[in-house]
Amino acid sequence: MRVGFIGTGSMGSILIEAFIETKALLPSQIHASNRTFDKVKALAKRYTGLHAYPSNVRVVQRADIIFLCIKPLEFQTVIDQIKDEVHEEHLIVSITSPVEIKDLERKLKAKVAKVIPSITNSAGRGASLIMAGERLTERDKDVLFQLMKSISHPLWLDEKYTRISADIASCGPAFISFLLQRMIDAAVEETGIPRDKAVTLFTQMMIGFGALMAKNKFTLESLQERVCVPGGVTGVGISVLEREVDDMFHKLFKATQLKFNEDVELVQEMFYKTST
């Protein structure tokens, strides 16, 4: 199996590194290109045997599965570059949420899927989201699922749930990191605890929390009940959170959905204003 990556920016490089480090792929199985060639050359230097190209066309010519790890408004340009080299047996995998499978199927002869990875996949953990186009065979689905299973917990998903699922699985680590950073800041400011100690405590708390969830020892609700004893400090803290959080996450998801809808409209305009 030869796997290509067009785009080796943040998420493209995370996927490449994760596949290699989990031994799902050998460096020699990977063919990659990037608009800034120095970035992909750096990956090839780090992982001996990885094939780096200045041309997206070369990736398509050499690979069986091709991940498109590019920004939404770069798709038409890349499609125009590669479409004559794409054939029916290629599996094109977009990792860009506002680019819809049906549009890629209209523009390319290949089988098309969408995968939404997460930064947590770089640790071989966390979910990845998989959506299949109509042309994928059961074997194609299994190959893609097994590839993503090597670095994540893959979930098949209806494309209409792309945004909210990506908010949880892909954006979620950044949201949680922000909240934890605010908790650390408050702990330091309110009590004077050394910052490095607070960071260690919060980090180890999150590692332990993840382990509890992974072992299915508690649900979120039962964990709160177990820790929150009657008349205890935890209950006082929960009361503050109930009062202050209110509809914050409703606002968050409304805002991300609005941005997603705007991005989808821009992609549609790009595709069909320049349609050939």
What is the residue extent of each domain of the chain?
3-157, 165-252
Are 114 and 101 in contact by the 8 Å Cβ rule? The answer is yes
Which residue reads 């991940």 in tokens? 67
CATH number assigned to the domain covering 3-157: 3.40.50.720
Low-confidence ranges of the chain (pLDDT < 70): 274-276
At 236-258, the pLDDT tens digits run 999 999 999 999 999 999 999 99
CATH topology of domain 165-252: ProC C-terminal domain-like fold (1.10.3730)
Q: What is the pLDDT of residues 87-135, one digit of tens each?
A: 999 999 999 999 999 999 999 999 999 999 999 999 999 999 999 999 9
20 carries a ligand binding annotation: no
State the pTM of this model.
0.91
* b/e sequence 10-37, b meaning 16+ C-beta within 10 Å: ebbbbbbbbbbeeebbebebbbbbbbee
**Is 56 annotated as belonging to a binding site?**
yes
Annotation-wise, does 131 bind a ligand?
no
Instruction: Answer yes or no: is 165 a known binding residue.
Output: no
170 assigned ligand-binding residue: no
pLDDT of residue 275: 47
β-bridge partners, 30: 3
168 is in an annotated binding site: no
85 Cα distance to chain centroid: 27
pLDDT of the residue at 230: 86
Write out 72-132 in H/E/C secondary structure. Answer: HHHHHHHHHHHCCCCCCCCEEEECCCCCCHHHHHHHCCCEEEEEECCHHHHHCCCEEEEEE
275 marked ligand binding residue: no
pLDDT at 273: 82
